[in-house]
Chain A
Amino acid sequence: MGEILLILLLAVALAWPLGRYLAAVLKGTASRADAVFLPLESVIYGLLRVDPQRGMTWRGYASAFLASNLLLGVFAWLVFSFQDHLPLNPDGVPGMRWDLALHTAISFLTNTNQQHYSGQAQLSYFSQTVGIVSLQVLTPMMGLGLAAAVLRGLFGGRDAATAKEGQARDLGNYWVDVTRLSLRVFLPLSLLVALALTSQGVPSTFAGAQTVQTVDASSGVTEQTIPVGPVASMIATKQLGTNGGGWYGPNSAVPLENPTPLSNALQILCIVVLPIAVVFMLSPFTGRRRLTALVFGVMGTLSLISLAVSVYAEQQPNAAVAGLAAAGPNLEGKELRFGAESSALWAAVTTQTSNGSVDTMHDSLNPLAGTVTLVNMLINAIWGGIGCGLVGHLVFLLLSIFIAGLMIGRTPEVFGRKLETQEVRLLSFLIVLQSLTILGFTALALAIPDVAGTSNPGLHGIAQVFYEYTSAYANNGSGFEGLGDGTYWWNLSASAVLLLGRYPCLLIPLMVAGSLAQKRQAPETAGTLDIESVTFGATMIAVIVLITVLSYLPALVLGTVGEQLMQAG
């Protein structure tokens, strides 16, 4: 327990200054680091033929985002499909089948890192470093850039002081945001973490797989091939960027990815530090002093509740051994070196942050803890993925403002700008899209088990399928596993869900922000809803919980909740 608290406190302590730094980078505040970064950045702007001074409207920002993603996606798909013809393939890994390559490309492009393959066996070093890692660096920073653009819009755009009512506003320059964030924030941090992980024994080499003699030949196995590679750098980006896609199939449960207790603690820290830093970025970036307090309060409360339930649940024995004399905590599917408590912590934070890396098998969690991971991903705005988590949170904020605004007798206003039918329609669309996608695909896959290839009967089978699509839509990427997911059905259906979970969820809020930005701004009075208050924070938590519970209670009851009840009964 002490360990958990220490890691959380450390994360908050680090996130605070990091958040201020993020705000400075996004605002383009002059700093001493300019001497190093400015020349580098101008080279990049030159190559991209971008004028860094030029602002973009929401349309411009969205187009740039989509164009860059399309380009990167096609590039990644080509790399994975034809890696056997590309360099840095010492182990002679063959090219991926087109559908798996497609799923993998989309999965990493959407900052999800859902893996229907095992990296050590199915990807070359070139694919891992150039294909995977470059997406792991860029996609979280794209998400953060989008979040910054949304925030700028909610406050009237960068030209709020001069622009006229009804005029499309300047929400920033996409290329500049992503370039500055990647160079000044993500790469330096990744470098530090990669070095730290290397020091703990995570492989960092371009040499091919190592063949070694086993220590104990009595098992009949005398020789073992151990895949290695430039793992440390990937693990750093995987954890820092709410990516979650590991080098090895079993992810951070593998000693080569996560060799020591220290590396485990460091990785948990990396999972949460940037998502929390984004919250601390809010106030310095927007100039609204107590906004960070509101968002931190709401996210923190939900995070602690979810964490506590998860840890409590895993302290309970696995149902199969519950009646035995020394039942103990649930250790099935866990690395004994990490134990139940730390693994439960990881399971909770990796789903809260849309990271999705695992050091324990979620399939084997007690059903209550499994429910926690699912609910975390359905909400997907308790910290959430870098940038996209905040955007999701802002959607809940706007919906809460709409309800609360009516309840105080004023047309709902977001930072002084009226929330009207147009915006409510867009926000409502997002709520419908989520349930349609997750429930629709889950029902479809369960209706055609022969095509879909489900692996478990009954409630657990339902939970696996529901988890897979929830994780895909949340762009989380963790798996319940136990699902034979390398098939056409899973690759293609999950690809569709991944896309729906990323692009509409980022671009529709951007549209809303763009539309709000150009409205007349009313000053705040005593009659204005004070959103940075305990009452509103409680309203927001109620709205988040209510929307999630009402939309997904039946699906949860038919999955992990039902399992829990059956075990209890």
Chain B
Amino acid sequence: MTMTTSSRHGLKVHAARFTSQTLQEAVRDAFAKLAPRAAMKNPVMFVVLVGTLVTAGLAAQALATGKPWAYAFVVSLILFATVLFANFAEAVAEARGRGQAASLRAARSQLVGRRWRNGQYEYLPAAELRPDDIVVVSAGEQIPADGEIIEGLASINEAAVTGESAPVLREAGTDRSGVIAGTTVLSDEIKVRVTAQPGASFLDRMIALVEGAQRQKTPNELALTVMLAALTLVFLIVVVTLPPMANFAGVSIDVVVLIALLVCLIPTTIGGLLPAIGIAGMNRALEANVIAKSGKAVELAGDIDTLLLDKTGTITLGDRRATEFVAVGGARVPDLRIAALLASLADPTPEGKSIVALAQAQGAVAEDTAGSTFVPFSAETRMSGVDLADGRRVRKGARSSIAAWAQSRGTPLPGDLDAAVDRIARGGATPLVVATETRVLGVIALADIVKHGVRERFARLRAMGVRTVMITGDNPLTAAAIAAEAGVDDFLAEAKPEDKLARIRSEQAQGRLVAMVGDGTNDAPALAQADIGLAMNSGTQAAKEAGNMVDLDSDPTKLLSVVEIGKQLLITRGALTTFSLANDVSKYFAIIPAIFVAAIPGMAALDLMRLSGPVNAVLAALIFNALIIPALIPLALRGVSFRPGSAEALLRRNLLVFGVGGVLLPFVAIKLIDLLLAALFGAR
């Protein structure tokens, strides 16, 4: 069996194939899971195991007393195979996860840290590092423990964890200060404060997770297990009460046949595949390079009603570019250009750089800026700029912040400022007002570029009933224009960090489940409050701790895949449950006539499949029942294909395929198996 994955990234190397070794492992595990303690966990398959033992006992007893024993023996073998197939399904899913874990563990082995204490280095094994230790990592070295950069910046190769070989930049004091054990520093030197206990690092947790060590049944899985157990009980009652009724009509039923009937009726197909489906769901998330901290989180993702998305980097390309200078209040455009250039020279943001580039391209030349102080952007002032050596100050920022700044120093606002701002904003660009302390000079248009394909993705989400809300610091006009272009359902303009939290709370108060993406430390409360908090791997440790999922690719649109994986997980369970129950109809029509036809000839009318004989009928039903489990393993691991669409369309499709198909398929399959049995062993 060869599995391929759609992931473009490095993890597919670990996940992709079943080597003969992993298959051997899975087979070995399938037997190991026969141990009573492991078997008890799955009530449906436990009943089959008991049935195996009873029929084996009957065969042995018959053999000892010289009676025909072959039938009981064959039934026992088929039941045993059924149990093994179910165990194998779970073992295969686990083996895939273990393959991923093994390569992760390789990344962790032999890490050595250089601890910085009292001005001295000290080399010691990673396992001895404790939180709040400071380690120094230079180019070419591996980071020994999860932590946060407290000094310096570095480009880091995270391929060992993410599979992505392009280096990423990590820098102290930013929202991209988190580093992961096992990744390699490519350039520069950083000081890292360790944040994880030994054995509890991100990698450790990831390994534990994929190995299934922490796997607990998720809420929906638990509910389904309860229902399957109840159905098993019902069928046990049906089978146990059958002999007294049949006796009254003068029919005695062989215990072997009764056990065969029981096993055919109880939902072994879904019961056998249920654990594998859950593990496969986690694996699929991992293949998408998303680490969910619990299976529950993956499942919950399918229920999301509202997605909160940051505009920048998610909906639009991260970099806005300056496209136009608009002078206001009689100021000259060249003066505006120069001021904008001065205010942006030391601005490290892409926007700042694009302003410099545009101004220079239009012929502006910067004067000497020696002795001036750059004023960085802050979320509170929402302005940046420069204080020149001669005392002049230049600021650029949102209209409201500049207006407040200007008014606080008595600078009048030009009458045509608002018209210019509005025009730019309505076009979907961000107006950035430039002012000196004496005069408001004009507006820079920063154009936002909506990412390719997001509109289609939001349309898909809408079809699934998920509302998207764009969060942006932009003014309402700009936000509305971009929202319309990107096709989001709602937006939150001029948002401050605390507004996200408030929005999440208000959505939740209306009963909605909310997902959000975040990377900054100030996102942490919102990530924790959201039902699904997807933290970017590039983000701060605080953000990663607060969220319940981490995206190793740091791709905010990944949330969409996560929602689909969650839905697919539930759909696969539901579809196979329906299939399993629908199968029972045909099995009844195989076994009931086989039981009664000798005593009550009229029962032959129920034998719709015209099977070759009672013995073959029972065996054919049992063999189908056993073989359908391995036949469905690929589907369980891959998940039922999910096409976004309305709930009704989904239900109709799955009902037809798995419900109606589940009734019809076994009629054909059992008939074919019966033909084969009749050809091989004769009609019995």
Contacts and interface: CB of A to CB of B under 8 A. Distances in A.
B574 A550 contact: no
Task: Tell me the dominant secondary structure on chain A's binding face.
Answer: helix
Contact of B265 (A530, A542, A550, A558): A550
A309 to B, nearest CB: 17
Contacts of A431: 230-231, 234
Nearest to B232: A432
B18 to A, nearest CB: 27
Q: Interface size class for chain B?
A: 35 or more
B405 interface: no
Interface in B284-300: 299-300
B651 A554 contact: no
B664 interface: no
Q: Interface size class for chain A?
A: 35 or more
Given A439-B238, A546-B582, A569-B604, A409 B244 contact: no
Interface string B562-581: 00001111110111011001
B435 to A, nearest CB: 45
Given A409-B302, A565-B605, A558 B646 contact: no
B226 interface: yes
B513 A403 contact: no
Contact of B654 (A407, A421, A435): A407
A411 B297 CA distance: 12
A526 B465 contact: yes
A527 B230 contact: no
Contacts of A446: 244-245, 247-248
A130 interface: no
B606 A557 contact: yes
B237 interface: yes
Interface string A427-440: 11101100110011
A53 interface: no
Interface string A549-569: 111111101100010011111
Contact of A535 (B466, B602, B655): B655
B635 interface: no
Contacts of A550: 234-235, 238, 265, 581, 584-585, 588
A542 B659 contact: yes
B220 interface: yes
B647 interface: yes
A458 interface: yes
A160 B222 CA distance: 28
Given A409-B650, A526-B647, A549-B585, A565 B602 contact: yes
A525 to B, nearest CB: 3
A443 B244 contact: yes
Contacts of A562: 249, 596, 600, 602-603
Interface stretch (A195-203, A269-277, A282-290, A515-523): A515-523
Contacts of B299: 411
A436 B584 CA distance: 19
B58 to A, nearest CB: 21
A19 B273 CA distance: 46
Given A446-B244, A549-B585, A410 B302 contact: yes
A301 interface: no
Contact of B249 (A462, A521, A527): A462
B227 interface: yes
Choose among A403, A408, A521 the residue with the greatest number of B CB atoms under 10 Å from its CB: A408
A297 to B, nearest CB: 15
B223 A420 contact: yes
A551 B570 CA distance: 26
A459 B604 CA distance: 16
Contacts of A419: 223
A440 B241 contact: yes
B453 interface: no
Interface in A527-549: 527-530, 533, 535-536, 538-539, 542, 546, 549
A425 interface: yes
A518 B599 CA distance: 55
A529 B603 contact: no
Nearest to B243: A443
B566 A409 contact: yes
B659 to A, nearest CB: 6
Given A416-B511, A425-B223, 7 more contacts: A409-B650, A428-B226, A428-B231, A443-B245, A446-B244, A523-B511, A533-B648
27 contacts: A404-B651, A406-B575, A409-B302, A410-B567, A411-B299, A424-B224, A428-B229, A428-B230, A432-B230, A432-B233, A454-B248, A458-B248, A526-B462, A527-B647, A535-B651, A538-B655, A546-B582, A549-B588, A550-B265, A550-B581, A550-B588, A551-B234, A555-B238, A557-B603, A562-B249, A562-B596, A562-B602
